[in-house]
Amino acid sequence: MNSQMSTVFILGAGFSAHAGIPLMNNFFDKAQDLYYLGELTESEKACLEDVNKARYKLSTIASKANVDINNLENVFELLEMAKYLERMPVEQKEESGWDITINNLKRIIVATIEKSVKYRHNNAERDNYWILKEAYMAFIRMIYRLKFQPKGQINHEVSVITLNYDMMIEAALTKLNTDEARIYGLGKIDRYYYGSVSLNGRIGNALELLKLHGSVNWFEQFNSIDVRYDYFLDHYFEIKQNGTIINNYSSITRNRNLINSPLIIPPTWNKVKESEQLQQIWQTASDRISQADNIVFIGYSLPDSDQVFKRFFSLSLMGDKVIKKIVLADPNAASLLPKFKSLLGKSALDRLYIMPHAFGANQSHLNVIGGIAGLDNYSHALYNFLTDREDKEGNMIRHYTEFEK
């Protein structure tokens, strides 16, 4: 039996929204704004134009079928399915036309994420240095506080499962100058900024980060996944030279024998099956959920388009572990209750609590807890709740029955 308590965080799009990254239902609107503002390169503009043509073709079936061409996940999934059915909604000029449009969509996803992230400028250092938003660093501090409790209290084994493509977690770890590795669960030596660690089991102080839908810094290389840690150093901290940005997306893939699109997938099971390493990540995530004492959803709305995750989560609960606490942290939690009530069985539902706040919304002050500084109200409330401490943050987390109409 594990001598530590196990806590799993499951992150949805709402977790990244605090950084300025658009949600799935307004992702294309943001990409189009970047287009009009002249913030896309010429090649990125061409990619968006190609994707918009495919979206228009999809819209022509609206009289016969209900399709949402404004939702990124829906369009991504439809394009992948059209490829397999050979009913691509674009004019194909060659056999690779399907892959071209899908790869163009991936390029737009990457460009929109990169150019939407908001930073706070630090004039005290140098003009080209940017500071990540405090909420993400507070979240990481909270996790490591859970992992290393004061003497006489229970340490938590922590896993972070994310459905997002971005690298806000990795950027926060780097900004905090942690010398801990990030375990991606790729089943090989995980090359990372500060060194290398084995991935066999739960290693030392490493933070296990399981990205179910891939990542903007993962690239396919032959039959393996190549992880580029310099990618987020460039793009999340804007490495500059004489005031001019010296990096761009193409520079990351140039001369590295990498396919010029990241390994990111829509929420469909067939894409997971195509990659042995992605399967391993999903299997690891399932195992962590099955052994979890606490499960915390942050910014995940259980969208109708993500039927795969619903089935995955249900199967992952199979086992004899009794869940202690489930937290649904979302500003729209009350309206999401029916979805989560249909997902959870009675015993799990009895342990469901609501935190009706957006990630990063409660940063009125930073706290010092047990010698670790920099927890905002949001992370402080989660920390207190998960460690059974007194709620000092104004009753931010309450049982779901208090939100039922």
Kindly list the strands in the beta sheet with 182-183, ordered across the sheet, starting from the edge strand earlier in the chain.
182-183, 207-211, 156-162, 5-11, 294-298, 325-329, 352-355, 398-399
What is d(CA 102, CA 50) in angstroms, rounded to the nearest whole number?
A: 10
**Band of residue 196 on the pLDDT scale cut at 50, 70, 90:** very low
What is d(CA 23, CA 122) in angstroms, rounded to the nearest whole number?
A: 27
pLDDT higher than 70, residue 78: yes
- Is residue 363 exposed (0-12), middle (13-18) or buried (19+ Cβ within 10 Å)? middle
What single-letter amino acid sits at 177?
A: N
Q: What is the pLDDT of residue 338?
A: 92
What is d(CA 208, CA 49) in angstroms, rounded to the nearest whole number?
A: 38
What is d(CA 314, CA 181) in angstroms, rounded to the nearest whole number?
A: 30
- Residue 258 region by backbone torsions, left for phi larger than 0, else alpha for psi between -120 and 50, else beta: beta
pLDDT digits (tens, 9 = 90+) for 233-254: 544 444 433 344 333 333 433 3
Angle at 206 between CA 202 and CA 211, to 5 degrees: 85
Count CB-CB contacts under 10 A for residue 84. 10
What is d(CA 380, CA 387) in angstroms, rounded to the nearest whole number?
A: 11
pLDDT higher than 80, residue 153: yes
What is d(CA 110, CA 127) in angstroms, rounded to the nearest whole number?
A: 25
Lowest mean pLDDT among 16-20, 201-205, 260-264: 201-205
Nearest to 5 by CA among 149, 139, 162, 205: 149
Lowest mean pLDDT among 15-19, 107-111, 199-203, 266-270: 199-203
Residue listed under structure tokens 């992150």: 11
Q: Averaged over 280-309, what is the pLDDT?
A: 91
Q: Are 84 and 270 in contact (CB under 8 A)?
A: yes
Q: Averaged over 71-82, what is the pLDDT?
A: 86
Q: Are 380 and 393 in contact (CB under 8 A)?
A: yes
Q: pTM, whole model, 2 decimals?
A: 0.85
